[in-house]
Amino acid sequence: MCYHWPVRGIFFVINGIFYMRVLTFGWDFPPSRNGGLGVACFGLTRELSRDGVEVIFVLPKKQDTIGSPRFVFADTERKINLYAKVYEIASSLIPYHSSDNLVQSLVSYDAIGCPVHKTRTILEEIHRYAQQAAAIAQEEKFDVIHAHDWTSYLAGVAAKVASGKPLILHVHATSFDQAAGNNVDSEMFKIECEGFTQADQIVTVSQFTKNILIEKHGVPADKIQVVHNGCDNAPVPRYEPVLKELKAQGKKIVLYHGRITIQKGVDYFVRAARMVIDVDPNVVFVISGWGDMQNQIVEQVGKMGLSGQVIFAGALWEEERDRMYQTADLVVMPSVSEPFGLVPLEAILHGAPSLVSKQSGVVEVMTHVLKVDFWDVEEMANQILAVLRYEALGKQLREYGRQEINRLSWSEAAKKIYQLYRNLVNYIHS
């Protein structure tokens, strides 16, 4: 048995296997139900642990978690003493918000024990997280820092300054994606630029996102590596379908699943629905999700006379979501700007073909999905009608799509991240 011990740090090699410890900062983790960020963090962390990486996963607040990492919660593990009082922040934050979104935070208790709340912005919470990250980095032993998404970038930078260890930033979305254009949140953009400058290596989930960093943020191309997201591609259980009465009437079901925000293009989906129903009134559109555009989309549906053909299903998760996938005849992801997009992979796993916008990273790894520019609602409607009319087309998309995702796995993504860790650690210790 061969051992190689480091001069400094804690990584070591046993029989050719490179063991190391990584301090990872995130904002979301399952079973929290906030979107694809947590799913990606879980999949990568699980596979890295199998490759000999010990992950210390830091989250801004205490929450239920699953998986093998050792979790550190910034709000419960650290206490800040101010004026002889202990201020514990117990915020209920979710990702995918702009920096000026407000949250209620517990900051102290009064003399008789009643809670005192303060309205804080996510930006304030991000800076608080960074302060706690510096303290955590001084107490933990690790080789590399890995920070996921913009809400954790400053935490990663603070940990790097405190420890001197190399920093990887993992870009799951940018301010330009969330704004669906150039009218970006200035504070979010500032954090991105600071993080990208301080990072030793940047990972993007697609070439689409890498191009944004090069063109909009001025990041050198050789500092960025693309690591596409994966999926859990094992066979899935089959469930009782939903909307059985509609299906019994011969209705076709077209599903949108995701956040209802400007980034996701739900308004274009509704405009295409109007065109489809004008041709074939036997189609029902289902919108599953939540977001700040929800009321606007409800109003749009009403104004376009679609209230009888569009169902708002709420935010569906886990078995409810999977049952809806298995019921749908087609799943549409009409995003204006989508760094990757896990929904088409999930849909295909459950037997539903997908139509996705060309402005998405998933088109770089999936051939057997229909593709359309998000703004071309006429073509979107034509492709929806084609799948619903021609059974052979839907069958081909399902069968060949299923074969494609067999090679897309979190294991493959984790191997690329693992190699990045090795390269950084070897460079630091060379």
Mean pLDDT score, 397-422 = 94
pLDDT at residue 292, as a whole number:
94
pTM metric for this prediction? 0.87
> Within a 13 Å sphere around the CA of 205, how many CA atoms are in the beta-carbon half?
28
- 36 Cβ neighbours under 8 A, 6+ residues apart: 172, 229, 340, 341, 342
3-state DSSP assignment of residue 27: coil
Among the CATH numbers 2.40.128.20, 3.40.50.2000, 2.40.37.10, 3.20.20.80, which is that of 3-76+125-230+410-429?
3.40.50.2000
Q: Name every residue whose Cβ is closer than 8 Å to that of residue 299 and which is 6 or more positions away in sequence.
A: none
pLDDT digits 0-9 by tens, 56-110: 999 999 999 998 899 999 986 444 433 223 333 333 344 555 555 544 444 444 4
- How far apart, in Å, are the Cα atoms of 103 and each of 93, 117, 250, 405? 7, 10, 45, 38
Residue 164, sorted as left (phi over 0), alpha (psi -120 to 50) or beta, turns out to be left
| Domain with residues 244-405, CATH architecture | 3-Layer(aba) Sandwich (3.40)
Residue pair 189/403 in contact (Cβ under 8 Å)? The answer is no
CA distance 32 to 30: 4
pLDDT, averaged across the chain: 88
Interatomic CA distance for residues 388 and 404, integer angstroms: 22
Within this chain, domains 3-76+125-230+410-429 and 244-405 share the same CATH topology: yes
Query: Quick one: pLDDT at residue 34?
Result: 77
The mean per-residue pLDDT over the stretch 215-219 comes to: 98
CA–CA separation, 140 vs 77, rounded Å? 12
In the chain, count H helices and then E strands: 15, 19
- Predicted confidence at residue 428, as pLDDT, reads 64
The domain spans of the chain are 3-76+125-230+410-429, 244-405
**Kind and range of the H or E element at 15?**
none
With 80 as the cut, is the pLDDT of residue 169 above it?
A: yes
Q: Which of 5-14, 35-44, 338-347 has the lowest mean pLDDT?
A: 5-14
